[in-house]
Structure 1
Amino acid sequence: MVYGEEIAQYTPEVENVVVTSITKTENPNYVFITMDTKGLDPGIYNIDFKKGKRTVFSRAYELKKRAPNSKLRKGFDASDVIYLLMPDRFANGNPNNDSHSELTEKVNRDFEGGRHGGDIQGIIDHLDYVEALGATTIWSTPLCEDNDNQYSYHTYAQSDVYRIDPRYGTNEEYQMLSKELHKRNMKLIMDYVTNHWGLEHWMIKDLPTYDWIHQFPGYAQTNYRMTTQMDPNASQRDYKYCMDGWFVKTMPDLNQQNPLVLKYLIQNAIWWIEFANLDGFRVDTYSYNDKDAIALWTKAIMDEYPNFNIVGEVWMHDQAQMAYWQKDSKIGAIQNYNSYLPSVMDFTLHDAIGQVFKEENPSWNKGMIQVYENYVNDFLYPEVNNLLIFAENHDTERINHIYPNIEDYKLIMSLIATSRGIPQIYYGSEIGMQGDKGKGDGDIRRDFPGGWPSDQNNAFKAMERTDKQNAYFDFTAKLLNWRKKAKVIHSGKTTQYLPDDEVYVYFRHNDQASVMVVINNNQSDKVLQLDRFKENLYHFSKGMEVMTEMEIDLSTNLKMPAKTSYIIELKK
């Protein structure tokens, strides 16, 4: 894509390169050139813009060298633990870039919804902390430029998708983040937005085509009803407004049915994978995209990188509806649909976690049975080990607000760390950080203590953490570092038992190992009759509880303290 005032009046030619097509649109400021680059060496190629036989001007275009074995890069998987952070709220490594002359919103740490100054350098400075915690992968919310007047820190309304927001750093610093992670055998996931750009995006301000975005004409709000995408009884109007309506008024909805838009998004995604040596994408608002076009986008990326991984945000509350969006879904196949999306987010598990550990009156369908029932529906998913599992993220209530005591936090983390799928944790919860979504998004996106030189409490350092912060951190770090080596948790089978009196037991097992997980969700001690679990215990006489390193005798009953979980490595 080339852009310039009245540039369509010229005919582009590229020396020693076959130009297979030239597309001009109703906007004379754009020309789209398709070149056959097969067999070309990396290097600089000049594009000559001609009027008749005369070259009016030329521009250099670089074909970059691809890294060896780039196609075979391995994405994130169930052996990983993902650490989700918001860069503006994590750590300020370079105060000199807090504001930028070209961008409207300036730093204002006193405003919850403002920019606070966190940046890429701040992440790099604290990679040792993330590694010590036991996380293996970083998912940062978007880092590309967002020039909104306010609330630009979340960066989902991007104004340039080839440029890191200068208030976060530079493209080269993003490359450095990737390199520093890979030195530690850690991974990097980019939060990618296919559904929309921001109003301030330079291409939105001068649209290449009227239908580059969805117009009604102009703005119309999505109905947010993602079920219309699969509802055989949905009206065409409701179906259209879900996919084509704008997410919010400041985020024009991209029309991926326009082949130029789709190609642009595919090439931009591939460019970032190559440029930053990425290990995966998390795709924002995946199920709001045009469902056929987003499948083409996803397939194009996965065809290019067969071992890559992409997780889509499919924020739904029914397993069948979520499973519809995973690659090779038999549910999607009913409607001849395949998204080609390897991973979806397990929002129904998230929903259950937000309720069960505070249930005062457990019943037939309330309490730990809700967690059990979530896994009952695993048969709906083509690949359960590739589900992203989580208790919270940057859009939800903080779990330490729902459950303000460490006992419930430990139960939740034990569940997340030992379930099938890929665990994702949210920055700060590992030190007990709270936040009330009822007070606004800013409260669930608080600054990490110690990320700014003026902070009185530096929770990045054990010696400066409070006793409470260390209690949270030490538990989390021990659990996640154990998980790194527990292959049976990464890929083993699950056998679960119906919760009895709010005590939930399940096993993760393969031919080499077996782990028994016991969660006592009671305010009182309970005694477990172990003969009920003999189909999983008959080979084993003892076990070692991972967190306490206590030996467990499996020949008798098991006493479970109140509000306690045991993770028991079984021994013969």
Structure 2
Amino acid sequence: MCYGKNIAEHDVESKTVTITEATKTENPNYLFVTIETKGVEPGEVILDFTKNKKIVFSQPYELKQRREGSADRKGFDSSDVMYLIMPDRFANGNPSNDSHKDTVEKADRSKPGGRHGGDIQGIIDHLDYLNELGATAIWSTPLLEDNEPIYSYHTYAQSDLYKIDPRYGTNDDYKRLATEMHKLDMKLIMDYVTNHWGSKHWMIKDLPTKDWIHQWPEGFRRSNYRMTTQFDINASKIDAKGCMDGWFDTTMPDMNQSNPLLLQYITQNAIWWIEYADLDGFRVDTYSYNDKEGIAKWTKAIMDEYPNFNIVGEVWMHDQAQMAYWQKDSKIGAIDNFNSHLPSVMDFTLHDAIMVMFHEEGNSWDKGMIRAYENFTNDFLYPDINNILLFAGNHDTNRINEIYQSDISKYKMAMSLIFTTRGIPQIYYGDEIGMLGNRDKKGDGDIRRDFPGGWPDDKRSAFVSEGEKQKTAGRTKDEEAFHAFTKKVLNWRKNSEAIHKGKLLQYIPFDNVYVYFRYTEKERVMVIINNNSEDQKLDIKRFKEGLENHKVGKDIITDNTIDLTENIEIPSRTSMILTLQ
């Protein structure tokens, strides 16, 4: 993509590479040049821009060397635990870049919706903390430049797709983050936004084509957010268009993925970032708001380039069949001849259940632990059930510990489920120390609080235990309890093949007690979650199929040994994770 005042008035030639096509649009400031790269060695390519067969100016373009084996890179999978960070709120490793001359909004930590100064260096500084916690992958919300005048900290309204926001650092810093993570066998996942750009993006200010974005006669029309219209066989065309072409917000122009030039631009940009920063995966924001045929082409192009890569799409729906529609090779999608080619989706229905079920008492037909059981009964709808993302909360939901009012027993039950059932678990930064936040009452800023100890002037640091030697105080007693549990389970999980790859065998919950097994030929794990306010005794004979003659289980949470030849007593509001022996 070549840009400049009236650049389309020129012809383009090259002595160093074959030009197969030069596409002009109604905007004379753009020229889209297609070159043949097969057989071309890495190095500098020169494009000559001519008028009347005379060279007016030349422009160098570098073809970079791919690292050896790049195409075979392995993405994240169910052996990983993904740690979600909002970089502006995690840690400020370089206070000198809190504000920047090239961006409008300046740092003001007093504003819940302002920029607080967290950055890439802050993440690098605390990689050991994350590694020791047991996280194996980091999903950071977007880091590319967002030059909106307010609320730019979330960075979903991007103003330059090839540039890290200078308040987070530089492109080199992002590459260095990946390098340092790979030294610890950790994976870096980029939050990629295909559905919309920011209103301050330089290309939005000077559109290459009128249909580069979705435009409406009245100027702005918000999406109706009804993603069901993408596959509803009874949907009106105007409603489907209202979802797909409507803008997510006033500052987020809706991109037209059916425009082949735009689709090529974001495809090449995505591949460029994978190569440049040596990425291990994408999380794609608002995946199901895109033009579905266009986003499928984008996804397929990346997965064809990197067959072992992984991409998880945000499909925020509340029905398993509707979410499964968006996973690669879905039989549901095949009904209307659609294949998204998207390897992974997010398990929002499990999240829905977790938000309420630990408040629910008694032996109910449809409340309490039966919600988890019923969620998994629909696993047959997914083409690849072990490649879906599980979470108790993220940057758009109320904090799990806010919902359960810092009740650590409920946190343990919820996270025992997330960490041991099928799929890829994701934990939201700060949940592991019991952080609170209520989006409904106090807005997004409340669920995106600063991590204690991430700023040089913080009075204490939750990155360290109270017993460690440091200038500031460490985790409180309550924070330490949350952290110790999370760390113990996650580090055990790193080495459990049954949890990574095993099948799921579940039992109908009785008396609000849920029991399931994860198993392979070599390993079996039994999970018991007693969501009852009273102690319970389990009839061990009922679980013969799952136990498969194992006599002893070790609870990895308490280190207690459990005799599996007699009935099991489990205390109220307790989870057990038993490795069978």
Pair in the same fold by TM > 0.5: yes
**1:371 corresponds to 2:381:** no
Matches within 5 A, 1:469-488: 469-488=479-498
Separation in 1, partners of 2:353, 2:108? 37
**1:549 deviation in Å?**
1.1
2:300 match: 299
1:19 match: 19
Separation in 2, partners of 1:460, 1:503? 34
1:87 match: 87
2:104 match: 104
2:469 match: none
1:315 match: 316
**1:437 corresponds to 2:439:** yes
1:154 match: 154
Matches within 5 A, 1:273-284: 273-284=274-285
**1:539 deviation in Å?**
1.6
Change (3 A) 1:35 1:498: same
1:463-522 per-position Cα deviation (integer Å, ceiling 9, x unaligned): 311111111111100000000000110110010000000000000011101100000001
1:457 match: 460
In structure 2, which of residues 566, 570, 581 is the aligned counterpart of residue 556 of structure 1? 566
Separation in 2, partners of 1:117, 1:284? 23
**1:58 corresponds to 2:61:** no
1:6-62 per-position Cα deviation (integer Å, ceiling 9, x unaligned): 111111112221100000111010000000011111111111111112111111100
Separation in 1, partners of 2:253, 2:131? 38
Separation in 2, partners of 1:102, 1:15? 37
The letter for the 2-side match of 1:66 is: R
2:512 match: 502
The letter for the 2-side match of 1:486 is: S
Change (3 A) 1:526 1:361: closer
Separation in 2, partners of 1:236, 1:465? 55
2:537 match: 527
Q: Which runs of 4+ in 1 moved over 2 A?
A: none
Matches within 5 A, 1:218-257: 218-257=219-258
Separation in 2, partners of 1:458, 1:76? 30
Give the conservation status (yes or no) of the 8 Å contact 2:361–2:533: no
In structure 1, which of residues 393, 416, 438 is the aligned counterpart of residue 418 of structure 2? 416
Separation in 2, partners of 1:405, 1:362? 21
* TM score, norm. by length of structure 2: 0.98
**1:362 deviation in Å?**
4.9
Give the 3-state SS of the residue equivalent to 2:336 in structure 1: coil
The letter for the 2-side match of 1:63 is: L
Separation in 2, partners of 1:269, 1:362? 50
Aligned residues: 571
Separation in 1, partners of 2:51, 2:335? 54
Give the 3-state SS of the residue equivalent to 2:149 in structure 1: coil
**1:348 corresponds to 2:358:** no
Give the 3-state SS of the residue equivalent to 1:93 in structure 2: coil
Separation in 2, partners of 1:202, 1:561? 60
Give the conservation status (yes or no) of the 8 Å contact 2:361–2:512: no
Separation in 2, partners of 1:538, 1:401? 40
1:258 match: 259
User: Percent identity of the aligned residues?
Assistant: 66
2:121 match: 121
Separation in 1, partners of 2:545, 2:364? 27
The letter for the 2-side match of 1:417 is: F
CA RMSD across the alignment = 0.7
Separation in 2, partners of 1:361, 1:430? 28
**1:189 corresponds to 2:199:** no
**1:446 corresponds to 2:449:** yes
**1:102 deviation in Å?**
1.2
**1:538 deviation in Å?**
3.5
2:430 match: 428
The letter for the 1-side match of 2:457 is: S
1:190-237 per-position Cα deviation (integer Å, ceiling 9, x unaligned): 000000001000000000000000011332111000000010000000
1:258-314 per-position Cα deviation (integer Å, ceiling 9, x unaligned): 100000010000000000000000000000000010000000000000000000000
Separation in 1, partners of 2:220, 2:263? 21
1:36 match: 36
The letter for the 1-side match of 2:444 is: D
Give the 3-state SS of the residue equivalent to 1:485 in structure 2: coil
Separation in 1, partners of 2:72, 2:524? 32
Matches within 5 A, 1:390-401: 390-401=391-402
Separation in 2, partners of 1:16, 1:155? 38
Separation in 2, partners of 1:264, 1:213? 13
Identify unmatched segments of 5+ residues in structure 1.
none
Separation in 2, partners of 1:241, 1:368? 38
The letter for the 2-side match of 1:437 is: R
* TM score, norm. by length of structure 1: 0.99
Separation in 1, partners of 2:229, 2:63? 42
1:96-146 per-position Cα deviation (integer Å, ceiling 9, x unaligned): 000011111000000000000000000000000000100000000000000
Separation in 2, partners of 1:327, 1:146? 31
Change (3 A) 1:49 1:538: closer
Give the conservation status (yes or no) of the 8 Å contact 2:140–2:189: yes
1:44-86 per-position Cα deviation (integer Å, ceiling 9, x unaligned): 1111111112111111100000110100000000000000000
The letter for the 1-side match of 2:235 is: A
1:172 match: 172
Separation in 1, partners of 2:35, 2:513? 63
Deviates more, 1:40-49 or 1:316-325: 40-49
**1:548 deviation in Å?**
1.1
Separation in 1, partners of 2:5, 2:362? 68
Deviates more, 1:261-270 or 1:455-464: 455-464
Separation in 2, partners of 1:208, 1:461? 51
